Structure formats: C-alpha cells, structure tokens
Amino acid sequence: MDVANLMRTLNLPYTNKALLQQAFTHSSYVNEHHRSHLKDNERLEFLGDAVLELAVSDFLFKKYPQMSEGNLSKLRANIVREESLSHFAKMLYLHEYVLLGKGEERTGGRTRQSLLADVFEAFLGAVYLDQGMDVCIQFLEKHIFPHVADDAFSHTMDYKTKLQELVQRKKNNALRYDIIDERGPSHRKQFVALVAINETLQATGKGYTKKEAEQQAARKMLAKLRHLESER
C-alpha cells in the first residue's frame, strides 16, 4: 500500500507514514495478521468524525450567514452522512488503499458504504494528528467543500426524492429506474442507471453502487426538466 502516492496525488504533506497506513487498516485485516502487531483504524475514525463535524460546521456557519440553526444542522447531517462520506472516499480513490481481510474482501467490503465512510473519517483523523487542523481544512476546502455548493447538498432531500415529488405533482406521470449496464472489475464495478418519465424523457447516471447511479440519473433528469422549463 503506497500511501505516499496518495498523499502526492492529494498534494498533502505528511511525516508519519505508519499513522496514515493505520487509517486504511480494517479490523478484519488486523485479525488475520495478529502477529504483526498492527492497529486498525477505529480510533482514528472516532477522531476524524469529530474533526469533520467541526470543520463542516465552521464552513456552513460562514457560507450561510442567514440560515437558521435548524437548517444548518440538517444540512450538516446531509453532508456527513454515510452515503456522502462513502462517495467522497470513492471520489478520492481511498478505497483502493484499504487493507481488508480475505473474507471482507470477498464479500465486497471495499465498496461497502459504511466501511468507506469509516475510512474517510479515519484518514481525516490521521491527517489531523500528523499535520493539524489547518491542513485538514485546506484538504476539505480543496477536495470536499466545492462539491457541497452544488445541488447534492444545498437541500435536505436527495435527488430521487426531489424528482419523485416533482413527478407526482402531475397526474398520470410514471417514473421508472433501471440498471442498464455494469462496467469494470469486481472490486471497482461501476453501474449505469436509467431513469424515465412516461418513457419519453430519459436520463442516465453512473455510480459505484446502484443507489448512487440512480441518484446521478435523477440529478441529470432534474437538470433536464429545469432546462425544458426555461425554454417555455
């Protein structure tokens, strides 16, 4: 596992390579290599969770000065939820560096949302211990916060929910999702989803899980509907 390559790619400084390797070490791997005296990433995950919540809270507080406490809390919860963090982990290719036990690997642990969300938090915890809060914030500002500004996080609903509510406003509308393709190796499989409204309007989306692909398809459909509405 070459974490040095990852840090170069992310343009992140580091001094403690062992700490970063621990961030990617799952308990299943430790259990299979107990003689190596390895440490798993669970304590780093605990720390990274707190670092992330503080950093996101500070970002939202400054970005939305007029937003109420209740809405800030909902927006923060939407950003730090398991689905979002696993998406960030895959976006940064953190899943490629995870050390898993054979059984966990065989059952698809490398693409499991809960595991990837934990890895993201553990990685952030390791960066915090190694480089401090300022570097953590710089990392989030460069790689994560720009995505928070888009529609994925600017409301408390997901794309599929928003599209469903929009479609239901008109009678006799039928909404359908299908997984139409699967690409790539088993450890990094990508799904392609199609969403159709009344079989006439269609959009597709890609993702590393079927749910993520459907969300991206719904996002593109919402953009298409906004474009059609603007032309009227």
Catalytic residues: 49, 121
Residues 216 and 203: their CA atoms lie apart, in Å, by: 9
List C-alpha distances in Å: 146 to 59, 110, 140, 152, 153: 11, 25, 9, 11, 11
- Cα dihedral 140/40/85/191 (nearest 10): 130
Integer Cα distance of 42 and 27 in angstroms = 8
Distance CA 131, CA 129 (A): 6
Among 127, 105, 92, residue whose Cα is nearest residue 26? 105
Q: How far apart are CA 148 and CA 140, in angstroms?
A: 10
Closest CA to 188 of 110, 87, 91, 100: 110
| DSSP 3-state of 175 | strand
Backbone phi, then psi, for 182, in 5-degree steps? -130, 130
Amino acid letter, 189? K
- 206 and 216 Cβ atoms separated by less than 8 Å: yes
Distance separating alpha carbons of residues 40 and 29, to the nearest angstrom: 8
